[in-house]
Amino acid sequence: MTIEQSQSVVAIPLPKEKKKMVQIGCICMMLSVAMYGLVFSTLISPILESINAMGYVGLFSIFIALGISIMTPIGGKLGDLIGRRNIVVIPGIICAVAGAAFAFVRSLIPLMILLLIVSLAQGGFTAAPYIIVGLINERKDVPKAMGMLATAIAVGGFGGSIIAGILTDMGLLTVAILMPEIPLIIGIVLIGLNMPNQKREGKVSIDVPGIIALIVTLCSILLALNFGSSVGWTSPAIIAGFVIGIISLVVLVKIEGRADEPLIPLNLFKNRNYSVLLIVGFICYFYQNAMNVYAPIGAMQVIGTSTSVAGALQMPRTIVTIILPTIAGAWVGKKAGNSWKAMIIGTGLVSIPMVLMAFTRPGTSIMIYFVALAITGIAESFRSVSITPAAQATLNPKDMGVGTSLVNFVNSLAGTIAAAVFAVAYNMNTTADPTNTSYIQNGVNAVFWVAAIVSAVGLVIVLLVIKPQMSKKTEL
């Protein structure tokens, strides 16, 4: 099959109108995911304050991360087995019901349970829009479709947090929590009515032992990473968490190697092209914790800006990620060779801003931060339309769901691991006096240097491994 022929293959052909409705549904689902994430981040404090439980902020954040991390790979596999439409509709309805209940409950334990249900349900369908647009579009159109999803995430996150804050200030906390339900329900309806539910014929088996081993692995390692910097890395509980996680990981690998329907097909990792793209995707997400957490610290504690200025640091980046992904996706789709070029932009345009921010001083202009983060928005726009479509292009049709879910899973895992790594880099430089500006300066700069180095490694991998692979493929 020639490149041109492979570009025109559609796994699930749909009439033009139904395809349009399904794509709008996918956009609505990602709007909802982004709105839930930012809304919960914005509203955790007022929600917990309303029930006098501010000491549980960290635990609530961990519940959100854990639920999504656990269910992302599981949701991808379940979609392969029970149908892509069902894996949107069923978890989507569960998310909508639990999210609505969350808006009215004001008791700690039920709130925690509902939050975990919402995050688990979201993890079940988060990868589905990426999988669906890869199935209903010709390959050349997939990057543009991915760009629309990236724009939806930017709009949902930015708009969702602002509207949620305004509604809360108006005394409408319940309405603010319910807000993400609107695009979620629209997405469920559009996909449910217009997407055929293709699923495997015959008996369907669920890899229950694999699911249990995955949950134990992720809970043990992620909880240890999250609490390690505060409790202490030498704490028996933290060490036990890592030991249990590693043992569970070994057990998971053995289970998956023998399972008839493995949750995570190990043969995917024998695909060198796919595995390298997973690594680059991980690296492309790694810096974001530095941007989200340590850029505001550097701005306020070292440069000396106000809280409002620090809160506006990502405004230019957000504007870029609203406008550019769809344009970048159209450009990537025009020529197969543009994909690796987009990955060079996605890694290289992170390293440079991180280096610029790694020289933060009390006299540093805050405009350097604004410009640097805006540049990362360009990188993110090109990343979002290149890595996932390229990974999908390396997969067999039967592995499309779980393979795409693993990409999303690895991306989300990058944030958790980065948080632990950056915490170590920061704490090593601030332990002597966490309130001293010079120590804070050294800690923030150390974080940005780590982010810059990791991103540079991604650039080298793209240049030395991915570029030759894709160049050779386009010549066939």
Residues 6+ apart with CB under 8 A from 126: 33, 68, 71, 72, 75, 408
For the ranges 68-77, 90-99, 290-299, the maximum mean pLDDT occurs at: 90-99
| pLDDT score, position 382 | 95
| pLDDT score, position 3 | 41
SS3 312: coil
SS3 207: coil
Higher pLDDT, 96 or 336: 96
Task: Band the pLDDT of 473: cuts 50, 70, 90.
Answer: low
Task: Band the pLDDT of 1: cuts 50, 70, 90.
Answer: very low
pLDDT beyond 90 at 346: yes
- The model's pLDDT over 437-455, given as tens digits with 9 standing for 90+, comes to 888 899 999 999 999 999 9
- pTM as predicted: 0.80
Alpha-helix residue ranges (DSSP H) falling in 83-178: 84-104, 108-126, 128-136, 142-169, 173-178
| pLDDT score, position 300 | 87
C-alpha–C-alpha distance, residues 313 and 297, integer Å? 11
- The model's pLDDT over 267-278, given as tens digits with 9 standing for 90+, comes to 888 888 999 999
- The model's pLDDT over 19-31, given as tens digits with 9 standing for 90+, comes to 999 999 999 999 9
Picking from 102-106, 262-266, 274-278, which range would have the lowest pLDDT averaged per residue?
A: 262-266
Closest CA to 454 of 312, 316, 291, 309: 291
| pLDDT score, position 401 | 77
The answer to whether domain 267-476 has CATH 1.10.287.610 is no
Task: Band the pLDDT of 256: cuts 50, 70, 90.
Answer: confident
| pLDDT score, position 262 | 81
Report the alpha-carbon angle 225-227-229, nearest 5: 85
- The model's pLDDT over 369-387, given as tens digits with 9 standing for 90+, comes to 999 999 999 999 999 899 9
| pLDDT score, position 202 | 62
| pLDDT score, position 328 | 92
pLDDT beyond 90 at 187: yes
**What are the tokens at 79?**
């979609």
Picking from 168-177, 194-203, 241-250, which range would have the lowest pLDDT averaged per residue?
A: 194-203
- The model's pLDDT over 275-288, given as tens digits with 9 standing for 90+, comes to 999 999 999 999 98
- The model's pLDDT over 292-301, given as tens digits with 9 standing for 90+, comes to 888 888 988 8
For the ranges 34-43, 154-163, 173-182, 375-384, the maximum mean pLDDT occurs at: 375-384
- For residue 347, the Cα-to-chain-centroid distance in whole angstroms is 16
| pLDDT score, position 475 | 54
| pLDDT score, position 2 | 43
Q: How many CA atoms lie within 13 A of 316 on its CB side?
A: 14
SS3 465: helix
| pLDDT score, position 54 | 64
Higher pLDDT, 39 or 158: 158
Q: How large is the average pLDDT for residues 90-116?
A: 89
| pLDDT score, position 171 | 81
Do 343 and 280 touch, CB atoms closer than 8 A?
Answer: yes
Residues 6+ apart with CB under 8 A from 267: none
pLDDT beyond 60 at 4: no
One fold for 13-196 and 267-476: yes
Q: How large is the average pLDDT for residues 414-435?
A: 82
Would you kindly state where each structural domain of the chain is located, as residue ranges? 13-196, 207-260, 267-476
Q: How large is the average pLDDT for residues 404-413?
A: 85
Do 80 and 200 touch, CB atoms closer than 8 A?
Answer: yes
Q: What are phi and psi of 358, to 5 degrees?
A: -75, 0
Q: Is 44 left (phi over 0), alpha (psi -120 to 50) or beta?
A: alpha
pLDDT beyond 70 at 61: no
Element (H, E) at 355: helix 338-357
Q: Which CATH architecture has domain 13-196?
A: Up-down Bundle (1.20)
DSSP 408-456: HHHHHHHHHHHHHHHHHHHHHHHTT-TT-HHHHHHHHHHHHHHHHHHHH
| pLDDT score, position 115 | 85
Burial of 258 (0-12, 13-18, 19+ CB in 10 A): exposed
Residues 6+ apart with CB under 8 A from 387: 277, 280, 281, 284, 343, 346, 407
| pLDDT score, position 246 | 95
